Amino acid sequence: MGAGGLGSYVGALLARAGHQVTLVTRGKHLEAIRRDGLHVHTVAGDFDVHPKCAASALDLRGADLTFVTVKAYSLGDVADQVAHLARAGSIVVPLLNGVTAADRLVERGVARDRIVEGIAYMTAFRTEPGRIERKADHHRLLVGSSTGGDPEAIGLIEEAFADTDVEVVVSDDIAAELWMKMAVVCALCVLCGLTGKSMGPIREHRLGADLQKRAIAEVTSVARAQGVELPREAELTVGAALDAFPPDFVPSVIHDLHSGRATEMEELGGAIVRMAHETGMDVPLHEAATAAVQLAEPRAGAVASAASTGAE
């Protein structure tokens, strides 16, 4: 559901493993896949697959698994389609950036016991219609349920990826894992959003290491204030993850910004700012980065309006 970079890549992996896959997408990407298939460029080699495509999940009778991979700001737009698949018996696996996807789906009619939360440590971008490029070496999927999902559903996810090279890890505390990913992504957004640089030049600057530590600390402080039990070494773990990104790496928020598209900053840095303000905390780096990114967006006025009204 939402065949951008990540969704198309996950679908391509499962299709290559022999599963029946339908990508819910639209426009030129849908046309290109129907005509020529989906071409995937990776660090491990290229491959092509020919999955089915649909413009809307309302046209589908159902599925065993539904991976929701839309941008965070589009979740409300597809929630009725996700709810349709869940009512038809599908297990719903949101793989969105941020920490609120499951709650937002429940609010929009998806039963809690149909949701298994997931975190995709994979980086893939749609380079042009029908073509995907996987970046970086990480290739891991964390799954778990904090919403009452059936444990057997997790086994179904493991089975689906059994013939791929994706490492599926089952987490006993998916909420903490979601916040650890949030810390990685938000710190990347702060670092690259404020400097306009990729991770290599930032690491080389004499102030880069301290800036990174402060960006991470803002997120972990907010998480703990929200009652999330992060491990004591959380900051070091997130820092090590950031240090492992290649020198030319920028997060998807910056990639979208450079491509002239709207970004997910409102559900990343913006969410940190909102939650911090609720508890009287100061997060100046996230405030500055959120403002900088959103003011640079092509739809800056629309984003600001949506944030002020609660619209998506």
Q: What is the pLDDT of residue 301?
A: 44
Hey, what amino acid is at 195?
Answer: T
Torsion angle of alpha carbons 183, 186, 192, 198, nearest 10°? 50
22 backbone dihedrals φ, ψ, rounded to 5°: -120, 125
Burial class (CB in 10 A: 0-12, 13-18, 19+), 283: buried
Walking along the chain (312 residues) 10 residues at a time, the average pLDDT comes out as 94 96 96 96 91 95 95 94 96 93 93 92 89 85 79 91 94 93 96 96 98 98 96 97 93 89 94 96 98 86 39 30
Q: What is the pLDDT of residue 149?
A: 62
Q: How far apart are CA 281 and CA 273, in angstroms?
A: 9
Q: Which domains does the chain have, with CATH numbers?
A: 5-171 (3.40.50.720), 176-306 (1.10.1040.10)
Q: What is the pLDDT of residue 38?
A: 97
